[in-house]
Every structure is written in structure tokens, then in C-alpha cells.
Structure 1
Amino acid sequence: MDRRFKITLAIFFVIALILLWGEHKVHLLGALPWLILLACPLLHVFMHGGHGHHSPQGKKGDQRDEQ
């Protein structure tokens, strides 16, 4: 791609983002508290995946770590 084309494309995206932020800021900031509340259970589910589930597979993994 031509360098001028890349610069023009970057400028277009920056202007589009500025206009979108100006028009939709109220909607995005209004949904922010709900998104934070939604993130809590999702983080809990996905962040606790590495604790093991007291299954035989978890014990095999522990034995490999000790060797």
C-alpha cells in the first residue's frame, strides 16, 4: 500500500472515532455501571478456572510437578 493511502486511512479512522465518541458518549457512559456489574461474575467464572477441581486429573498434574 502507498504511504499516503495509509496516512489518509489513519486520519479517516481518527475522525470517525472522534465523531462516534461525540455522538454515543452518553450511551456508553450510561451503560458503564452495568458493564462493571456484568464483569464481576464473568471474571469470577473465568479467573477461577485454574484452581483445580479435585479430580484425578488434577492429582496427576500435581505428581508431575513434584518429579
Structure 2
Amino acid sequence: MDRRFKITLAIFAVIALFLLWGEHKVHLLGALPWLILLACPLLHKFMHGGHGGHNRSGQQSSKSGEQRDD
């Protein structure tokens, strides 16, 4: 793409975002607490995905191969 086209597209995008923010910020900011609450299950799923979830036996293996009691 031409450099002038990219600059023009970026300018139009900034103007569009500015106008949308001005008209809809009440709706977006009003939904923010609900979006944070909806993010909790996703964060829980992805944060616990790396270590295999909750270990019910009370023992977790570490990188060194040791086991510990919680």
C-alpha cells in the first residue's frame, strides 16, 4: 500500500474513534464493571491452565521434581 493511503486511513480511524468515544463513552464506561466480572472466569481458566489445575491430593510437583505439601 501507498504511504499516503496508510496515513489517510490512520487519520480517518482516529477521527472515527474520537467521535465514537464522544457519543458512546457513557455506555462503554457503564459496562466496564460487568466486563471485569466477566473476565474473571476467563482469567481463572487461563491462569490455571499452565500448572494442571487444582491438585486435590495436596501435592504439586515443581520443576526440580520435588513434591511439597500445601
Give the TM-score, by structure 1 length: 0.70
What SS is found at the alignment partner of 2:43? helix
Q: Calculate percent identity across the aligned residue pairs.
A: 86
Distance 2:7 2:51 in 1: 47
Larger helix fraction of residues: 1
Query: CA RMSD of the aligned region, Å?
Result: 1.9
Q: What runs of 5+ residues in structure 2 fail to find an aligned partner?
A: 56-60, 66-70
Larger strand fraction of residues: 2
User: Could you report, residue by residue, the CA deviation over 1:2-55 in whole angstroms, capped at 9, with x for unpaired residues?
Assistant: 32222211111110010011111011000000011111121011110111267x
Give the TM-score, by structure 2 length: 0.67
Instruction: State the structure with bigger RCO (CA 8 A, min sep 6), 1 or 2.
Output: 2
Name the count of aligned residue pairs. 57
